[in-house]
Amino acid sequence: MSKKSDAGLLARLLGRDASSSGEDVLQALEAAPPETESPSPRAARRDESLEEPHEDLDVPAPRQAAMPDSEDPEQEAEIERVLRRIQGLVAGEEKNAQSAGKTGTEAAPAPFPESGRTLESWAKTEFVPIEPESLEEAQLTESEVEALILKYLLARGEASGRAVADQIKLPFVLVDQLMRRMKTERLVAHRCDAPMNDYVYELGELGRERARRYSQHCTYFGAAPVSLRDYVNSVQAQSLTQQRPTADELKAAFGDLLLNRRMLDRLGPAVNSGRGLFLYGAPGNGKTSIAERVTAAFGPYIWVPRALGIDGEIIRVFDPVNHHEVPLPENTGLIDSRKVDRRWVRIRRPTIIAGGELTMAALEVTLNTSTGICEAPLQLKSNCGTLVIDDFGRQRMPIHELLNRWIVPLEKRYDFLNLPNGKKICVPFDQLIVFSTNLEPRELVDEAFLRRIPYKIEVVDPSEEEFRNLFEVLAPKMGIQYDAAAVDYLVKNHYQRCGRAFRFCQPRDLLLQVLNYCKYAGVTPRMSPELFDLAVDNYFAVM
């Protein structure tokens, strides 16, 4: 590149006018005194660890990158774009450094893309797991992390250090230090180089034997487990009792259901309490639908650990079947500085439904004897959310066993779990439990249990007006032409004349019958007395 181009590039880097001569730019650079700042404690420690090289060592001089000698306009434009990028990054670092100097803390990380807020400001208003800076801060031992790494390499064969860090969800700097120690102890070996100052590792003979021994106890090699103490703190920070849903939020949660104001006013205090709720009434009036939508009145997201580690036992908490993962938006910068602990998963506030298949085993820690991995019970997975016991009274387990199992947790809001190694642990019991049944509650449970369920709400039949409104609301959504005269015929001949009770589910079910017949007959979906007669004959044949 010519001397003029060198001067122009140097001027742009210094933020000066490109028309200045090369000598002026160089003189200004030479005359500028070096800026001295007090080093940070972290930098001071790094400088103290560096020693002067011995004179007898032949230390090669650092290589300088060669500048391309070209006057191509496209290359000039590319260089200009890169320079603007560098200047923007430098300006951002200076801005963060200035703010750090004012507050006495390190520079704030990049904001969350979805809100523009920094990690610190986010953590002040809601729980956010922060990435640990050491194994001690993560409450992990080197042996625990070593076991995960060795079992992963035993299953994978080979992997780079960054792939290992991504597998066990720990910062690469912590994993890299441990991998170097394992290399020294001949547990692993370098297979080849990897990008970004990394290596591809494979097991040595000693490491392979130790990995097999670890796998005999437990085959788990996923994310590093979270401590029980950190999990308890997270539940306290995200508890339903911290939420206070308003009438508008409750109305929005049940926006797709037709509920009158009286029902909403009865549900509101029950939801705000975050305690037990009994929904009872005739079948088909939407008890399960109400229970499923209660969670939407609270905050949308919570963080749960992928797994808990308690005295060598791994308990899997995150369940893709019952938990819906909502990851943070991908980082658009060069480096992800959000520093979120990847051992945790952001999910929608859970709603877990257990029906007639519920057994006592689902309420205890279960051990898979073939893998050595424990599965968390339903009440632990539903913490900070809603646990719905649907069709209460029809479970495979006797009712009194379920009541005896939960009679203390419902009042104290903590539970005791037995681990396979014989240890008993205390865990939070923090969820809104909804018992939904079409049986009479007094015939199912005694007074002692009913006292611990403070809210008992009967879901009554709809009025005739509400019943008609359901047809008017559902017909357009299902693509059926609404006909008030046909609804009048249905109500008069198939409900009032025979004394049949209205149910909230019947308009939807009858319209589905009409829709399916119209599709079969190849006609436009519409309401008519004849079609309602066919639908009623099918739907109420044995009812």
Dist. CA 289–CA 504, nearest whole Å: 11
Q: Where are the alpha helices (DSSP H) in 307-463?
A: 378-381, 399-406, 409-412, 441-444, 447-451
Confirm if 28 and 21 have CB atoms less than 8 A apart: no
Give the SS3 label for residue 301: strand
User: What is the pLDDT averaged over residues 104-108?
Assistant: 37
Q: Where are the alpha helices (DSSP H) in 274-377?
A: 287-293
How confident is the model at residue 83, as a pLDDT?
64
Q: Is the pLDDT at 315 greater than 90, yes or no?
A: yes
Tokens 């589905």 — which residue? 512
Q: Is the pLDDT at 49 greater than 60, yes or no?
A: no
Q: Is the pLDDT at 127 greater than 60, yes or no?
A: yes
Q: Where are the alpha helices (DSSP H) in 104-137?
A: 119-125
How confident is the model at residue 28, as a pLDDT?
53
336 φ, ψ (degrees, to nearest 5): -85, 105
Q: Of residues 525 and 86, which shows the higher confidence score? A: 525
Band of the pLDDT at 63, cuts 50, 70, 90?
very low
Q: Sort 115 into a burial class: Cβ within 10 Å, 0-12 / 13-18 / 19+.
A: exposed
Q: Is the pLDDT at 121 greater than 50, yes or no?
A: no
Give the SS3 label for residue 366: strand
Tokens 């257990």 — which residue? 354
Band of the pLDDT at 50, cuts 50, 70, 90?
very low
How confident is the model at residue 266, as a pLDDT?
87
User: Which range has highest mean pLDDT (209-213, 336-340, 404-408, 421-425)?
Assistant: 209-213
Q: DSSP label at 159?
A: E
Confirm if 268 and 247 have CB atoms less than 8 A apart: yes
Report the percentage of the chain scoring pLDDT > 70: 75
| pLDDT tens string 148-181 | 999 999 999 999 999 999 999 999 999 999 999 9
Tokens representing residue 219 in the block: 């085959």
Give the SS3 label for residue 71: coil
Dist. CA 416–CA 169, nearest whole Å: 29
| pLDDT tens string 467-526 | 999 999 999 999 998 999 999 999 999 999 999 999 999 999 999 999 999 999 999 999
Provide the edge-to-edge strand list for the sheet that holds 198-203: 158-160, 198-203, 188-194
Question: Does pTM top 0.75 for this prediction?
Answer: no
**Which string of DSSP letters, residue by residue, matches 447-514?**
HHHHHTS-EEEE-PPPPHHHHHHHHHHHHHHTT-B--HHHHHHHHIIIIITTTPPP-TTHHHHHHHHH
Dist. CA 174–CA 341, nearest whole Å: 13
Tokens 């300006």 — which residue? 91
| pLDDT tens string 230-267 | 999 999 999 988 888 888 888 888 887 878 888 888 88
Q: On the CB side of 226, how many CA atoms lie within 13 Å of its CA?
A: 25
Dist. CA 259–CA 290, nearest whole Å: 9
